[in-house]
Amino acid sequence: MKGEKIMGTKNVTFTDSQIELAHGAGGKASRKLIDGLLVPYLMKKNEELADVAIVPMANNRVAFTTDSYVVSPLTFNGGSIGELAVNGTVNDLAMGGAKPLAIVSTLIIEEGLPSDVLEREVKAMGLAAEQAGVSVVGGDTKVVEHNHADKLFITTAGIGLIDERVALSAKRVEPGDKIILSGPIGDHGITILLARGELDLEADIKSDTRSVWPFVSKIIDIAGPGIKWMRDPTRGGVATALNELAIDANVTVELQDKLIKIHPAVRGSCEILGLDPLHIANEGQFIAVVSPEYEKPILNAMKEIPGGEEVECIGEIQKGERNIVIAHSQYGGTRSVDMLVGDPLPRIC
């Protein structure tokens, strides 16, 4: 702690004295915590704590991932924590180029939770797993005293076999590569915000939670190693995901604002609240960076899959090792798009 090196080889740089909500928001503070504290103690040299890890196993590459879900409220327009917990892990595997194979799950339950709430969420998990074509194969249940958890937290972990045609790496991203976004952004985050009822706002909007594997499976068939990088822009939104790409790939990411689809209700809510839609969490969208020759075939194929009609190429990788994301507005201006700082929307997933 406090920046000194501990145990000789551990380069611990995390100096915040206590954990704040922002450390869990997926933006800058999260990255500080992960890179400054978790990676030094948990990882061997030159590894990173990935959303989805690649584990070599008997001549195969196994994708392995986990996420905890603490969303509040438990249910919202378009979904609930149980559905989110399954789809989120399915999507992390998909982002690794892996067909989801099996899921395990734990429940941390607050004492006194009505059983019908638990039943509703377990049912939602079962349905989401069935729809995603994956089995829940094991789990664990813990119960803690009243006020020692908030109703229900669900953690899922998943494994999948990585398609042999897949060769994802930020290091392979180069100028001219195209940035594909699967659909409109911000629906999930704004839906949660409205579901809390703390704001005097109403809007006809619902969470986009779904499995993105059908799309990913299709574009792997089309482009194989022509897909260089994928990410689901959950906490921290599209802006944070692309800033991480800009850093990891050592490039400049250039976006065209007018090509980024945002439902009017999301845009309106963001304007009222002073939020950037590019920072809002999504649970059923993904970004793929692909070689330019695959742009059109991928767009055409995704539009034919139900739910993929609004896919768009939103920008391009530029020359220049500036490690930033810039966006051109439809009125000719250019702005720098930063990672999420702070946590405008805690417990979004």
- Smaller CB distance to a copy of itself: residue 68 or 318? 68
How many angstroms separate the Cα of 315 from the Cα of each of 147, 175, 319? Answer: 46, 11, 13
In the window 66-105, what residues touch a copy of itself (CB under 8 A)?
A: 66-70, 101-102, 104-105
- Between 104 and 341, whose beta carbon lies closer to a copy of itself? 104
Q: By CB under 8 A, is residue 255 in contact with a copy of itself?
A: no
Residues 47-66, mask of contacts with a copy of itself (x by CB under 8 A)? x-xxxxx-x-xxxx-x-xxx
- The arrangement of strands across the sheet holding 227-231 comes to 227-231, 287-290, 178-181, 312-318, 252-256, 325-328, 334-336
User: Helix axis angle, 81-95 relative to 115-132, nearest 10°?
Assistant: 30
In a 13 Å sphere around the CA of 206, the CA atoms on its Cβ side amount to 8
- CB 319 → a copy of itself: shortest distance, Å? 32
**Which residues in the 131-170 window bind a copy of itself by CB under 8 A?**
135-145, 147-150, 153, 155, 157, 159, 161
> Of 42 and 272, which CB lies nearer to a copy of itself in the complex structure?
42
Using the rule CB under 8 A, is 46 a contact of a copy of itself?
no
Cα gap 31→186, rounded to integer Å = 21
Query: Which residue type does 169 have?
Result: S
Q: How many residues bind to a copy of itself according to rule CB under 8 A?
A: 87
Tokens linked to 272: 């009222």
Residue 239 binding a copy of itself, by CB under 8 A? no
Which residue's CB is nearer to a copy of itself, number 259 or number 341? 341
Site string for a copy of itself, 287-316 (x = CB under 8 A): ------------------------------
> What distance in Å separates the CA atoms of residue 77 and residue 194, rounded to the nearest whole number?
9
Contact predicate 205/194, CB 8 Å: yes
Which of 42, 171, 334, 335 is the binder for a copy of itself (CB under 8 A)?
42
- Give the DSSP H or E segment for 312: strand 312-318
What's the closest the beta carbon of residue 163 comes to a copy of itself, in angstroms? 12
Question: Which of 8, 46, 115, 330 contacts a copy of itself by CB under 8 A?
Answer: 115
Query: Does residue 43 interact with a copy of itself by CB under 8 A?
Result: yes
Residue of the chain from 3, 11, 38, 199 that contacts a copy of itself (CB under 8 A): 38
Nearest approach, Cβ of residue 134 and a copy of itself (Å):
11
Contact 276, 239 (CB under 8 A): yes
* Amino acid code (one letter) for 120: R
User: Residue 187 has which token pair?
Assistant: 């629906």
Q: Are 226 and 294 in contact (CB under 8 A)?
A: yes
